Amino acid sequence: MSRPAVGVFLLLFIFLTQHSVAQRVSSRSGNLKGSVYSINKKYTSIGVSINALNYFGDLAPKDDILSTNLGLTRAGVGFFAIRRLGPKFAARVSLNWGRIKGDDFESANPKDDLARYRYVRNLQFRNDIKELSLVGVFDFKENLATYRSRIGIVPYIFAGVAVLHHNPKALVPDVDVNNGDAPFTNAGEWVALAPLRTEGTSYKKVQLAIPFGIGLRFKLDDRWDLGFEVGYRHLFFDYLDDVSNDFVDLGSLSSDLARALSDRSREVTAVVSGKTRETGLIPNRIDTYVSPVDGNSYSTIAGYGRDAKDNIRGNNSDNDIYIMTGFHLSYILRSSRFKRAKFR
């Protein structure tokens, strides 16, 4: 079992064991001594979040699980509902939308020996992620009072399960370098990569994930809370960026567009920025081979664009991940069970 997965199960174990105890403990640190968390102290909140998404994967600046290009951070938005279940515990359901992005031209330094291979590879993508999650929230500070007397600043952790829909896309270049620089009729469009099977394999657009992370919640007034949260998504697949395995024989792909987006090493211009690539700093020996699949000849830069030893397109030893950082604004709904005490 991977270390992130072990961490998730430890968090869930804490949730389950602490929850049974928390329902019976007496108040500490300022709540009413000897009171218990009765049903009239439970409440529901709804809210909205503004998020920033960062991607970690095969198009990261370095071959490191924590490497990301902050310049490619993209925004997202979410809506959520929280049910307070105990003095330290709550359940939250969230619906999030956000975009991640990767680009070898922007992230790989051609003057760096370790990054030059990725610079020549010249792949890029964007992916709009729709995520539905259910998580348990564990507060580090206990509150046995009603929502009106809740604690002002509360650190917390969370963990749970999520279902996400993703659809990686790439920008079509102006010309097809594998076909005599013939122009593409859909040049400049973002096209879905999964149907093109750029690595000769297929993958599902709906996937499971384990979200977990940390946060800090601030009480603004009786009914409003503001939170800041950093959440990690542990995934079970490696195709958020459409990159995972080695290059395949270009003749095995289904169309000129699939071939062009499978191997972009010969493109002179960076398709997103429109800037000229530094081809003088990279290997430029051209290999021509005849595909045993369709019998056609293809020319590629040595080490790219064909099914051969060490023609590495991606690294399938680690799954992709993304991190969602955001501010959460929530409003506590009026509880029919809670009423202010009447004084005579």
List, for residues 244-272, the tens digit of each pLDDT value.
999 999 999 999 999 999 999 999 999 99
What tokens does 194 get? 């999964």
Torsional sign, CA 217, 219, 223, 228: negative
Which tokens hold the place of 264? 């972009």
**Residue 281 phi/psi, 5° resolution?**
-95, 0
Indicate the SS3 state at residue 15: helix
Q: How confident is the model at residue 155 (pLDDT cuts 50, 70, 90)?
A: very high
Residues 6+ apart with CB under 8 A from 19: 85, 86, 88, 89
CA distance 163 to 66: 23
What does the pLDDT average to over 140-164?
90
Out of 26-30, 141-145, 239-243, least confident range: 26-30
Report the DSSP pairing between strands 44-56 and 286-290: unpaired
Q: Point out which residues pair with 326 in neighbouring strands.
A: 51, 229
pLDDT tens-place string over residues 312-340:
999 998 899 999 999 999 999 976 554 55
**pLDDT in the model for residue 334:** 72
- This prediction's pTM: 0.84
- Domain positions in the chain: 3-22+45-245+318-332
Secondary structure of residue 261 in the 3-state scheme: helix
Architecture field, domain 3-22+45-245+318-332? Beta Barrel (2.40)
